[in-house]
């Protein structure tokens, strides 16, 4: 090797002390560079090891979603009964102890507590201890029961012992649930269940035998043959909807919307409860809703398949589009938010309590409509709508489409070969909303705006928050059209104290109402603004053609007689001016004119009405004096915060009630708690004014659009913060006032302490 090659290396030979120091520094740098990746890798590995337990716990939590929470609760409840039964059993000499000793000690302690507190019969503490032990079971070691010792004879004894107080067996589903609950415990603890407990072993024979015994018992005892809740007949459903529409209860608007959606979707209440506004759209002539998770589609395979919901302009009480419009316009805060349709906890319980109360109050009327009040529940709507749709007439929608919409599993190869198509679901959606399949009116469109686009757009935007999404604006345009189409009906039927009466759309009239139309599938759309009509089977068009022929035939005698008489009067018979050919020509011409006229005649009823927009309310004369409030205004209605702001700033022109800001103490003498209520309203609106002035949105004169802008700006400042989820859209204005004053007192106290 040449000397010049040695000199060209990365490390030059040291020439002095300074060069030696430089060389040492270079060597250390090289060593640190080599150790850097290894050290970083070790740190990363240590971090992963440290996070491993937390990740394992998250994996377990994720895997628990293999079963829905509601199913878990049912399984745990059944297994609690099984554990309590095992605890009270005295094992035979050949039987092994099945409850682990540590768990049995806990159960014994709980049993002693029940004895001491007088809850032995209910077993409150014993059941709670068993439930706790079952909830923490995640492996064979943590199972409260020795599952490897569990035999068919033990489980079968328990199942046969589960009877009603009169000694008869429960329904078949009760014993299916017991078996499923025990198998769930095996699955949760990672243990394979013995064959004798599965559907392929002795358990299968036991369940089949019990079903026969149960059927024979019902026959002999004359028991109710149907299990579960009874279907809700359509007349009873319509009656309940009418009662909710007319009610002044604060939850009635919510209940009406919930019930009509549950009926129209044929959905389980859980799906309606978890409906999200982001998954609700308007397409063509109907609302479409999507569900990412259902009981029969736990993995969301069919999440892109829409449920179609149609309007019923002919019967507004049962119209789901109108019910949704009332709900959203009564709670405009929801329109601009990315949230569930029914926010808050326990929405299902809220609905069931409301419906149960209404059923109990109207039991006699429901019996007369063919319903059994004692066996009606939220599930009755789902049964009733599917029954109406499949058996309501002989040209019902496809059975497969009904099954898919209702979320029922298709047996055998049907699920492999029969799939969702929109046309079938659209037909189901029209039929289930109450439109008569056997008339041409089945093809009616929803109410929609025709013409005057700019004026309509400004009106719609004045009723909804400015930051609403484009998708929501389209939806609200059709919902608002539905309200305006039925406005006269709503004015007559909605209770004066309903919160919906305190919305801007109900408090003032508008000429935009003149632009609302409906049409039928065969009507010619010359404007291009009518929605495309979907879900109409071909026989409906044939029915319309037949009706046209019948109407034409019924008109023929009078029309022909009139025309012949005219010809006879205009011709001189004596001079031979009238011939048979002339009469025949006149008849044929008149027939042709009549048919053409009938073909072009629209079946659209004249539902438009000229409206005069008033700006001021009238005074009321009674008792010898003029008054600002009508004689039947005896109490202030229950209002949310948004309702109060609207009623404080805008008049109710339909009921001739001025904006509350113009009321004085003397005006509310006849009103229950009028002075105190008016004082509190004024106080809360003072807070609103201060916030609005701070945000530069307060005005001296107000329009509906101004109030919408005001609410959008200040609403977040008046939302309630609480440890539990609260329905801010349902909270009354008085609760907001108390919360605001409490916060002010706390802030004042903190300032004094400082």
Residue pLDDT, tens place only, 405-417: 877 777 666 666 6
Q: Give tens-digit pLDDT for 605-627.
A: 444 343 444 567 788 888 878 88
Confidence at 308, pLDDT banded by 50, 70, 90: very high
Confidence at 34, pLDDT banded by 50, 70, 90: low
**Is 578 a residue whose pLDDT tops 90?**
no
Name all domains of the chain by residue range, CATH numbers in brackets.
66-221 (no CATH), 234-444+487-497 (1.10.443.10), 538-600 (no CATH), 620-753 (no CATH)
**Is 746 a residue whose pLDDT tops 80?**
no
CB distance 639 to 652 below 8 Å: no
Residues 6+ away with beta carbon under 8 Å from 305: 290, 404, 420, 425
Share of the chain above pLDDT 70, in %: 78
Of 365-379, 550-564, 588-602, give the lowest mean pLDDT range: 588-602
State residue 10's pLDDT score: 47
Give the 3-state DSSP-derived string for 715-735, with helices as H, strands as E and coil as C: HHHHCCCCCCCCCCCCCEHHH
* Higher-scoring residue by pLDDT: 411, 182: 182
CA distance 478 to 287: 9
CA distance 102 to 141: 12
Confidence at 252, pLDDT banded by 50, 70, 90: very high
Confidence at 183, pLDDT banded by 50, 70, 90: confident
How many other C-beta atoms lie within 10 A of the C-beta of residue 195? 12
In the structure encoding, which two tokens stand for residue 87, read together? 């605890």
Confidence at 360, pLDDT banded by 50, 70, 90: very high
Please choose, from the candidates 228, 241, 391, 209, the residue with its C-alpha nearest in 3D space to the C-alpha of residue 319.
Answer: 241
State residue 752's pLDDT score: 55
Residue with tokens 């438009």: 608
* Higher-scoring residue by pLDDT: 303, 453: 453
Residues 6+ away with beta carbon under 8 Å from 667: 627, 628, 629
Mean pLDDT of 660-670: 89
Element (H, E) at 309: strand 307-309
DSSP state letters, 443-472: GPPPPEE-S-HHHHHHHHHHHS-TT--HHH
CA distance 610 to 651: 21
Residue with tokens 């491993």: 52
Half-sphere exposure of 420 (CA within 13 A, CB side): 18
Longest dimension (CA), the chain: 151
Residue with tokens 């009332």: 326
Residue with tokens 């009406």: 256
User: φ and ψ at 723, to 5 degrees?
Assistant: -65, -30
**Is 588 a residue whose pLDDT tops 80?**
no
Residue with tokens 């079952």: 134
State residue 90's pLDDT score: 62
Angle between helical axes of 234-246 and 347-361 (0-180°, round to 10): 100
Task: Estimate to the nearest angstrom the gap between the alpha carbon of 539 and the chain centroid.
Answer: 32
Q: Give tens-digit pLDDT for 386-408.
A: 888 888 777 888 888 888 887 77
State residue 723's pLDDT score: 41
State residue 4's pLDDT score: 45
Residues 6+ away with beta carbon under 8 Å from 47: none
State residue 320's pLDDT score: 95
Bridge partners, residue 340, by sequence: 276
State residue 23's pLDDT score: 65
Question: Which residues in 400-443 belong to E strands, given as ranges?
Answer: none
Confidence at 564, pLDDT banded by 50, 70, 90: confident
* Higher-scoring residue by pLDDT: 604, 332: 332
**Is 53 a residue whose pLDDT tops 70?**
yes
349 DSSP assignment: H
CA distance 341 to 260: 14
Confidence at 268, pLDDT banded by 50, 70, 90: confident
Residue with tokens 């109410």: 447
Residues 6+ away with beta carbon under 8 Å from 148: 140, 191
Please choose, from the candidates 340, 181, 377, the residue with its C-alpha nearest in 3D space to the C-alpha of residue 262.
Answer: 377
Please choose, from the candidates 88, 361, 410, the residue with its C-alpha nearest in 3D space to the C-alpha of residue 246.
Answer: 361
Confidence at 346, pLDDT banded by 50, 70, 90: confident
* Higher-scoring residue by pLDDT: 32, 325: 325
Region of residue 572 (phi > 0: left; psi between -120 and 50: alpha; otherwise: beta)? beta
Q: Give tens-digit pLDDT for 101-121.
A: 888 889 889 889 888 888 888
Share of the chain above pLDDT 90, in %: 19
Q: Please state the pTM of the whole predicted model.
A: 0.73
Confidence at 594, pLDDT banded by 50, 70, 90: low
Confidence at 446, pLDDT banded by 50, 70, 90: very high
CB distance 512 to 518 below 8 Å: no
> Average per-residue pLDDT in the chain?
81
Element (H, E) at 137: none
Mean pLDDT of 212-220: 81
Q: Give tens-digit pLDDT for 701-723.
A: 888 888 888 888 888 888 776 54
Confidence at 456, pLDDT banded by 50, 70, 90: very high
State residue 361's pLDDT score: 92
Total residues found in the chain within this entry: 754
**Is 478 a residue whose pLDDT tops 50?**
yes
Question: Which residues in 175-294 belong to E strands, given as ranges?
Answer: 280-283, 286-289
How many other C-beta atoms lie within 10 A of the C-beta of residue 704? 19
Of 320-334, 489-503, 568-582, 726-740, give the lowest mean pLDDT range: 568-582
**Is 579 a residue whose pLDDT tops 80?**
no
CA distance 131 to 357: 32
State residue 6's pLDDT score: 40
In the structure encoding, which two tokens stand for residue 709, read together? 């802008």
Distances (CA, A) of 553 to 35, 70, 593, 598: 101, 61, 13, 11
CA distance 373 to 360: 7
State residue 3's pLDDT score: 44
**Is 651 a residue whose pLDDT tops 80?**
yes
């Amino acid at each position: 090797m040449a000397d010049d090659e040695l000199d060209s290396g990365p490390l030059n030979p040291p020439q002095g002390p300074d060069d030696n120091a430089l060389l040492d520094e270079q060597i250390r740098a090289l060593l640190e560079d080599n150790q850097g990746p290894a050290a970083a890798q070790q740190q990363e590995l240590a971090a992963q090891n440290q996070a491993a337990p937390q990740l394992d716990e998250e994996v377990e939590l994720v895997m628990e979603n293999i079963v829905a929470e509601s199913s878990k609760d049912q399984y745990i409840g059944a297994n609690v009964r099984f554990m309590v039964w095992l605890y009270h059993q005295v094992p035979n000499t050949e039987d092994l102890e099945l409850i682990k000793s540590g768990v049995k000690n806990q159960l014994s302690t709980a049993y002693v507590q029940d004895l001491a507190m007088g809850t032995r019969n209910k077993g409150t503490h014993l059941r709670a201890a068993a439930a706790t032990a079952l909830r923490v079971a995640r492996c064979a070691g943590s199972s409260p029961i020795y599952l490897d010792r569990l035999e068919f004879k033990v489980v079968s004894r328990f199942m046969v012992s589960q009877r009603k107080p009169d000694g008869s067996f429960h329904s078949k589903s009760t014993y299916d649930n017991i078996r499923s609950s025990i198998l769930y415990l095996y699955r949760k603890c990672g243990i394979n269940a013995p064959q004798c407990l599965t559907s392929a072993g002795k358990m299968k024979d036991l369940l089949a035998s019990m079903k026969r015994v149960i059927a024979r018992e019902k026959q002999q005892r004359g028991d109710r043959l149907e299990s579960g809740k009874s279907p809700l007949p359509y007349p009873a459903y319509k009656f309940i909807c009418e009662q909710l529409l007319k009610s002044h209860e604060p939850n009635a608007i919510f209940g009406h919307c919930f019930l009509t959606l549950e009926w129209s979707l044929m959905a389980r209440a859980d799906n309606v409860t978890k409906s999200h506004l982001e998954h609700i759209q308007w397409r063509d002539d109907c609302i479409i809703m999507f569900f990412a998770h259902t009981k029969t589609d736990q993995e969301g395979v069919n999440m892109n398949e829409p449920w179609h919901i149609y309007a019923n302009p002919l019967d507004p009480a049962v119209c789901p589009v109108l019910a949704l419009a009332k709900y959203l316009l009564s709670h405009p805060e929801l329109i601009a938010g990315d949230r569930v349709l029914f926010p808050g906890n326990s929405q299902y319980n809220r609905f069931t309590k409301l419906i149960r109360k209404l059923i109990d109050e109207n039991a006699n009327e429901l019996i007369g409509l063919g319903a059994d009040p004692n066996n009606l529940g939220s599930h009755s709507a789902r049964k009733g709508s599917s029954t109406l749709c499949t058996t309501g007439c002989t040209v019902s929608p496809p059975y497969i489409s009904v099954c898919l919409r209702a979320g029922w599993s298709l047996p055998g190869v049907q699920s492999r070969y029969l799939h969702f198509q929109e046309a079938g679901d659209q037909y189901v959606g029209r039929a289930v909303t109450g439109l008569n399949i056997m008339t041409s009116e089945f093809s009616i469109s929803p109410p929609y705006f025709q013409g005057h686009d700019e004026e309509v757009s400004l009106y719609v935007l004045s009723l909804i928050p400015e930051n609403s999404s484009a998708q929501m604006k389209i939806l609200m345009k059709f919902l608002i059209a539905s309200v305006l189409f039925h406005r006269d009906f709503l004015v007559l039927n909605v209770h004066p104290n309903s919160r919906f009466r305190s919305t801007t759309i109900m408090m003032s009239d508008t000429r935009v109402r003149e632009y609302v139309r409906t049409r039928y599938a065969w009507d010619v759309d010359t404007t291009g603004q009518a929605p495309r009509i979907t879900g109409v089977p071909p026989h409906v068009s044939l029915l319309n053609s037949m009706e046209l022929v019948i109407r034409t035939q019924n008109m023929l005698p009078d029309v022909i007689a009139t025309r012949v008489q005219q010809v006879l009067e205009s011709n001189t018979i004596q001079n031979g001016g009238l011939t048979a050919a002339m009469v025949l020509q006149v008849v044929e011409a008149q027939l042709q004119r009549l048919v053409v006229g009938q073909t072009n005649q629209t079946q659209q009823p004249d539902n438009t009405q000229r409206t005069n927009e008033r700006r001021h309310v009238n005074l009321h004369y009674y008792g010898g004096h003029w008054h600002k409030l009508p004689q039947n205004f005896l109490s202030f209605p229950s209002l949310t915060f948004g309702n109060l702001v609207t009623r404080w700033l805008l008049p109710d022109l339909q009921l001739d009630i001025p904006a509350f800001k113009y009321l004085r103490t003397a005006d509310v003498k006849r009103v229950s708690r009028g002075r105190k209520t008016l004082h509190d309203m004024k106080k809360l609106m003072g807070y609103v004014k201060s916030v609005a002035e701070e945000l530069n949105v307060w005005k001296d004169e107000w329009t509906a659009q101004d109030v919408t802008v005001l609410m959008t700006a200040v609403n977040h400042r008046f939302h309630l913060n609480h440890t539990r989820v609260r329905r801010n859209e349902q909270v009354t204005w008085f609760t907001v006032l108390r919360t605001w004053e409490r916060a002010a007192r706390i802030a004042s106290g903190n300032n004094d302490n400082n």
